[in-house]
Amino acid sequence: MSLMRLDPARGRIAGFALPRLPRFRALRNWRVSLGGAILLVVLVSSLLAPWISPFDPYAQDLKAALLPPGGSHLLGTDEFGRDLLSRLIWGGRIALLVAAVSVVVSLIAGLFLGLVAGYFGGWLDALIMRGVDILLAFPNFLLAIAMVAILGPGLANMLVAIAIFGIPGFVRLYRAEVLTLKGADYVEAARSMGAGPWQVIRRHILPNSIPLVIVLCSLRAATAILVASGLSFLGLGVEPPLPDWGAMLTNGREYLRVAPHLTTVPGLAIMALVFAFNIFGDGLRDILDPRRKH
């Protein structure tokens, strides 16, 4: 007999995760629309950076240093005469790379550990969760600083540090979701029909946790960008001359009085991207959570 059965409590077929949504519901949610639009602009501009950047982001022109916004340099220039708009566009690549790589690594490790802890329980659950509690005892940013200090500055080490500090949050939240799904009626029915643990996980637990995973990834990406910007601001992240928004912030501190655009522009870029990920995740949560009214 097939394990695919109607789950009365959730009103859907067990094994299929995404709820049946009315057409264009996502577009009617202003959070998803606004956040998605900002993310799309950053993504497209980053991908097309070699073609749409008005100047070489590494080219220096000391005669044009600290120019205010306007003219051929729409957002002005930095202390080395480099075009700020071009560096902002190329910096979007690093921001999205940090978000993507750190979230994927945290997701894979966190989902595996959370799944094992939540579904099998026992000493595995106790061991995993005590390790998570130890990591969560440290503030996230301080933990990232400590790991970068051990590994050394640089983009690769920063990615590793941000990915590691993101794992405990994924483990705890996914474990709670697995515990909820584990007690669902359709999971109990599958077990009673002889389904093994990995069959239940593959056909019921994993598919029905997809909405939570999507929302977690979006919200965690915002945190990763903030932490990466903070590490670069402290000189522990991306090393010059790579165009990084956090590094642009710290370089502009010395010129706040004479050239405030050096910090204003990358600061607004960081704020906009983090804001976009957060409201996009909130909108997805509103849509994908079946317990919420739409």
Length of the chain as a residue count: 294
Residue 38 lies inside a defined structural domain of this protein = yes
- Give the residue among 205, 17, 197, 215 at the shortest CA–CA distance from 103: 215
Sheet strands (E) in the chain = 6-7, 12-13
pLDDT at 12: 43
pLDDT digits (tens, 9 = 90+) for 153-185: 888 889 998 998 889 989 999 999 898 888 888
Residue 168 lies inside a defined structural domain of this protein = yes
Burial class, 156, CB count within 10 angstroms (exposed 0-12 / middle 13-18 / buried 19+): exposed
Sheet strands (E) in 48-90 = none
Give the domain CATH number at 84: 1.10.3720.10
pLDDT at 217: 92
Residue 7 lies inside a defined structural domain of this protein = no
pLDDT at 289: 65
DSSP letter, residue 65: T
pLDDT at 197: 78
Query: What interhelical angle do 84-120 and 30-47 show, nearest 10?
Result: 120
pLDDT digits (tens, 9 = 90+) for 227-256: 999 999 888 888 888 899 999 999 898 898
pTM for the predicted model, two decimal places: 0.84
Residue 115 lies inside a defined structural domain of this protein = yes
Residue 265 lies inside a defined structural domain of this protein = yes
Low-confidence ranges of the chain (pLDDT < 70): 1-27, 289-294
CB neighbours of residue 239 within 10 Å: 15
Residue 72 lies inside a defined structural domain of this protein = no
Domain of residue 135 covers: 28-45+80-288
Residue 281 lies inside a defined structural domain of this protein = yes
Query: How many domains does one find in the chain?
Result: 1
Residue 16 lies inside a defined structural domain of this protein = no
